[in-house]
Amino acid sequence: MSTKTFTFDPDAGVPYGANLAMYGGSNFTANFVVQDLANSAFDLSESNAVGLGTTTGWTGSAQMQKSAGIGATTVPAATFAVGFTSAYDGKFKISLGTTETGNLSEGRYEYNILVSSGATTYNIVNGNILVYAGIASAP
């Protein structure tokens, strides 16, 4: 389980680039810690949601698809579960279970993570994921 800590500037609109790796047939989790420009936690809690009076708080979504090139499609190969592990501290994670990773073919994929509050959506992280074939277990 990896943890990536990064600074995000919502005014710049540039996502953080993070390359990841996973094994087919195993649980996958990647943890992220977002900081603001002052190196403080980027508050993803409901109290810091965009727009006065909003009660929707922050939500997250993340998908991966086969990398551009021969045989690439725009159909997502997998949709991650996104969880805010400590929204006030800017901590969240993406995960896939053994069934989802087991259905992926070996190769390079692209992914992105979006966080939203109200009508505002940020592409906060994107990069490549290298998927390795599943590892056989002893009989």
Only one residue has tokens 């994107």, namely: 126
Distance, CA of 65 to CA of 56 (rounded, Å): 28
> For residue 100, is it within any domain?
yes
> For residue 116, is it within any domain?
yes
> For residue 8, is it within any domain?
yes
> For residue 23, is it within any domain?
yes
| Closest CA relative to residue 120, chosen from 2, 1, 11, 5 | 11
CB 16 within 8 A of CB 125: yes
CATH of the domain at 99: 2.60.40
The domain in which residue 119 lies consists of: 2-132
Whole-structure pTM value: 0.84
> For residue 138, is it within any domain?
no
> For residue 139, is it within any domain?
no
Per residue of the chain (139 residues), give pLDDT as tens.
Answer: 678 999 998 888 899 999 999 999 999 999 999 998 888 888 887 666 554 444 457 889 999 998 766 555 667 889 999 998 888 888 999 999 999 999 999 999 999 999 988 788 899 999 999 999 866 554 5
The runs of H, that is alpha helices, within 2-137 are 98-102
| Closest CA relative to residue 100, chosen from 58, 67, 62, 127 | 62
Q: How many structural domains are present in the chain?
A: 1
> For residue 137, is it within any domain?
no
